[in-house]
A and B are shown apart, each in its own frame.
Chain A
Amino acid sequence: MNAKIIVNIKNAKEIKEYQNIGIQNFLVPLADFCVGYDELTVEDIKTIKNDFYLLINRILPYEDLEKLKSIFASLNNNYLKGVFFEDLGVLELIDELNLKWEKIYFPNHFGTNYASINAFFKRGIDSMLVANELTKEEIEDILDNVNKDVILHVYGYNQIMYSRRNLISNFNNEFDINLPLENTITEKVTKKILKIKENQYGTVIFDENIYNNLELLKLANHVKFYYINTSFLTVKQIMQALMNKRQADNNSFLNKKTIYKIGDKNE
């Protein structure tokens, strides 16, 4: 198994299960500081006796950054290697508290060129997620030109929208019903299906088609981690995917360049 694969876990027990299939790097979504993930509470996290990284992927108002201070203090042990974050306020907080963790910028859709990534590296970021709306050629170009190692999303459902709104709860309230906060929606014309997941901090939409970018595992230069988003998937499904035994839908952009302007379509 590739030693640089990292997976998000849904509970502490999964670590052992992933270790059994050779995965050694773990990302732990922190309860109340994530959207779109199954999260672990601080107490759950304290039971982990393996090296791990913490995930904080919400955009945070100031009062939540204040709460993070005490949480960081309680989790400051030898197992916590670093923090993946979406909000640059977390970077500032880690620096302010002089915590010696790896600082990993994990923005959705923003790591799209090598110059920006290098600019973040100059400002104390240790690693950064490369966006996955990029072609393989664009990703290779990034890997050839970055100054530190980056993170590539290689498999799993892809988060394609993050809203602060409670979209399912609002629907439930409007029609006085009680649909589950993890659901699927289907666009009326295209019939495209999306997964939707809400917690009190917002709503995330995922593409129903699994992004299978496992061919990126062949790109080794300047890669810190190959990230697998395990949300909605079992350990067994991940293992099957890695053994190329799972016929996953592939809706990646590796061979599908996005259009900048409508006119570009005809060029």
Chain B
Amino acid sequence: MSKVELLAPAGDLEKLQFAFLYGADAVYIGGKDFSLRANATNFTIEQIQTAVKYAHDLKKKVYVTVNIVFHNEDLKGLKEYLQALEKAQVDAIIVSDLVVIDLIAKEKINLEVHLSTQASTLNAKSANFYKKEGVTRLVLAREASREDIIHIKKQTNMDLEVFIHGAMCTSFSGKCVLSNCFTNRDSNRGGCAQICRWIFAIAGSDKPFSITPKDLNMVTYIKDMMDIGVNSFKIEGRMRSIYYVSTVLNVYRSIIDKIESKTITDAYIKYYQDILNRCANRESTPQFYDNLPTNKEQYFLGRQEESNQDFIGLVKAYDEKKKIATIEQRNYFKIGDVLEAFGPNKEPFEIKINKIYNENMEEIDVARHPRMIVQIPCEKQLAENDMLRLKIFDISSYL
């Protein structure tokens, strides 16, 4: 078991299962109420119970976000919800509003509390305010620098959870109501309309003015963050696809494992960077960890991103005798394409498509229908829920 936790988002039960399969030690999920990402699928109490049982059977953890900034009307039902989470034996809740902490203490509800990044914790003194309230873990502000992290760890000895990958707010989390003003959707109750991704004009220039940050990517600093005592590496994205979450987890799991086995090299780091940037269709950088973000950490002249159809298919089964994989198609592929298989606990490997069979075992030239079931020959063993992607990067060329 790794000393550091790899923490993944899970927008629904399917994503939760993929997250654990692809190397997450814990997931964070939202209930139907009281959670940012109010428009994600999210979990009912019964689904949370199922998720916790599933996770605990794997000796993994489930944290539940209760991280909206409450209005008066939202207080109704909060106590009962927290009691239901206690009963469900969730491993912790992630909160930003002191009212939740207060209620847990008052009602003697047995829940571990982690402080959300919404609280914008950047120094040990504000961390201590919450430590006195029984908070055991801080999800630090995304603006925290390496020095801030070291200082907070040294002064508080609290568990520190740090975002390592995914989208960034332009603002300090929680310090923005652009969405409220433009769309009347409450950003601090999960309705953020991402106004910071819109394009503006600024007086005095005819160039488009953008406040959009590039994504966060901490691949190059994972070892350093382990060395300075970060306890949990958090990936953003409860509304992301299983392909995105699995790819990102697969990369960070590989990096952490290679660091712990002392087999990590710069070549692997470069390869993983390319995989991640391709997967998100967005550029990503370390943002605040090593420097104050400059123009290089922002998008200008619109977002230079192109969608791709790299996710080719999901492995549903593998026949070891016949060496045939059953694939659920996710994007168009054809005879002659060069794909790459990846999955939990396996190094990616190349598959050249020489034959494709439909469900009746008739040869076809192309798999063009979304979610159609096809079979392809594959000499190397695959497993259910491995994935196929277009082969863009060849690890051998990096080594």
Q: List residues of chain A with CB under 8 Å of any chain B CB.
A: 59-63, 65, 87-93, 96, 108-110, 112-116, 119-120, 122-123, 133-134, 138, 141-142, 145, 160-168, 170-171, 173-175, 177, 179-180, 183-190, 192, 194, 196, 205, 207, 251, 253, 256, 258-262
A88 and B72 contact, CB distance less than 8 A: no
List, in ascending order, chain B residues with CB within 8 A of A138's CB. 71-73
List, in ascending order, chain A residues with CB within 8 A of B120's CB. 59, 87
In-complex Cβ contact of B123 among A60, A110, A133, A163 (8 A): A60
A-B contact pairs, 11 of them (CB 8 A): A63-B147, A109-B188, A116-B98, A167-B170, A174-B295, A177-B207, A179-B204, A205-B178, A258-B191, A262-B39, A262-B191
Instruction: Flag whether B359 is at the interface (Cβ < 8 A).
Output: no
List, in ascending order, chain B residues with CB within 8 A of A115's CB. 70, 72, 75, 99, 102-103
Instruction: Flag whether B348 is at the interface (Cβ < 8 A).
Output: no
Instruction: Flag whether B143 is at the interface (Cβ < 8 A).
Output: yes
B145 and A161 contact, CB distance less than 8 A: no
A258 to B101, CA, bound (A): 25
A194 to B122, CA, bound (A): 28
List, in ascending order, chain A residues with CB within 8 A of B353's CB. none
Whole-angstrom distance between the Cβ of A227 and the nearest chain B Cβ: 17
Of the stretches B21-29, B124-132, B248-256, B324-332, the one at the interface is B124-132
Whether A92 touches B191, Cβ cut-off 8 Å, given contacts A115-B75, A161-B175, A183-B204, is no
Whole-angstrom distance between the Cβ of B28 and the nearest chain A Cβ: 19
Please name the residue on chain A nearest to B213 by beta carbon.
Answer: A165
List, in ascending order, chain A residues with CB within 8 A of B201's CB. 185-186, 188
Interface size on B, residues (CB 8 A): 75
A62 and B151 contact, CB distance less than 8 A: yes
- For the complex, would chain A's binding face be called helix, strand, loop or mixed by DSSP majority? mixed
A109 and B98 contact, CB distance less than 8 A: no
Whole-angstrom distance between the Cβ of B367 and the nearest chain A Cβ: 35
A260 to B213, CA, bound (A): 25
Q: List residues of chain B with CB under 8 Å of any chain A CB.
A: 38-39, 69-75, 97-99, 101-103, 120, 122-126, 128-130, 141, 143, 145, 147-148, 151-152, 155, 170-172, 174-178, 180-186, 188-191, 195-196, 198-205, 207-211, 213, 288, 292-295, 297-298, 300
B200 and A259 contact, CB distance less than 8 A: no
List, in ascending order, chain B residues with CB within 8 A of A89's CB. 122-126, 129
A132 to B293, CA, bound (A): 30
A260 and B129 contact, CB distance less than 8 A: no
A110 and B174 contact, CB distance less than 8 A: yes
Whether A113 touches B186, Cβ cut-off 8 Å, given contacts A88-B125, A133-B177, is no
List, in ascending order, chain A residues with CB within 8 A of B198's CB. 187-189
Q: Interface centre among B101, B102, B120, B181, by most A CB within 10 Å?
A: B181
- For the complex, would chain B's binding face be called helix, strand, loop or mixed by DSSP majority? mixed
Whole-angstrom distance between the Cβ of B89 and the nearest chain A Cβ: 26
A170 and B293 contact, CB distance less than 8 A: yes
A165 and B182 contact, CB distance less than 8 A: no
Whole-angstrom distance between the Cβ of B196 and the nearest chain A Cβ: 8
Whole-angstrom distance between the Cβ of A210 and the nearest chain B Cβ: 13
List, in ascending order, chain B residues with CB within 8 A of A170's CB. 293-295, 298
B171 and A113 contact, CB distance less than 8 A: no
A110 and B69 contact, CB distance less than 8 A: yes
List, in ascending order, chain B residues with CB within 8 A of A145's CB. 72
Whole-angstrom distance between the Cβ of A186 and the nearest chain B Cβ: 5
A109 and B174 contact, CB distance less than 8 A: yes
List, in ascending order, chain A residues with CB within 8 A of B174's CB. 109-110
List, in ascending order, chain A residues with CB within 8 A of B74's CB. 113, 260
B99 and A113 contact, CB distance less than 8 A: yes
A113 and B71 contact, CB distance less than 8 A: yes
List, in ascending order, chain A residues with CB within 8 A of B205's CB. 171, 175, 177, 179
List, in ascending order, chain A residues with CB within 8 A of B128's CB. 92
The 9 closest A-B pairs by CB, nearest first: A89-B125, A92-B125, A258-B186, A174-B295, A89-B126, A119-B102, A170-B295, A162-B175, A116-B99
List, in ascending order, chain A residues with CB within 8 A of B211's CB. 163, 165, 167
A185 to B177, CA, bound (A): 16
Please name the residue on chain A nearest to B120 by beta carbon.
Answer: A59
Whether A113 touches B143, Cβ cut-off 8 Å, given contacts A59-B172, A89-B123, A260-B38, is no
A141 and B170 contact, CB distance less than 8 A: no
B200 and A187 contact, CB distance less than 8 A: yes
Whole-angstrom distance between the Cβ of A142 and the nearest chain B Cβ: 7
Q: Interface centre among B71, B155, B172, B191, by most A CB within 10 Å?
A: B71
A124 to B337, CA, bound (A): 66
A251 and B125 contact, CB distance less than 8 A: no
Q: Interface centre among B72, B124, B292, B295, by most A CB within 10 Å?
A: B72
A184 and B185 contact, CB distance less than 8 A: no
Please name the residue on chain B nearest to A259 by beta carbon.
Answer: B185
Please name the residue on chain B nearest to A89 by beta carbon.
Answer: B125
A162 to B176, CA, bound (A): 6
Whole-angstrom distance between the Cβ of B375 and the nearest chain A Cβ: 41
Whether A161 touches B39, Cβ cut-off 8 Å, given contacts A112-B70, A171-B209, A173-B294, is no
List, in ascending order, chain B residues with CB within 8 A of A180's CB. 204
B300 and A171 contact, CB distance less than 8 A: yes
List, in ascending order, chain B residues with CB within 8 A of A162's CB. 171-172, 175-176
List, in ascending order, chain A residues with CB within 8 A of B170's CB. 161, 163, 165, 167
In-complex Cβ contact of A113 among B75, B124, B126 (8 A): B75
Whether A109 touches B177, Cβ cut-off 8 Å, given contacts A116-B70, A175-B205, is yes
Please name the residue on chain B nearest to A140 by beta carbon.
Answer: B72
A112 and B75 contact, CB distance less than 8 A: no
A163 and B171 contact, CB distance less than 8 A: yes
Q: A89-B125, A113-B74, A260-B38 are in contact. List 13 more A-B contacts (CB 8 A).
A: A59-B172, A63-B147, A65-B123, A109-B177, A122-B102, A133-B177, A160-B177, A160-B178, A162-B172, A177-B207, A185-B201, A187-B182, A259-B191
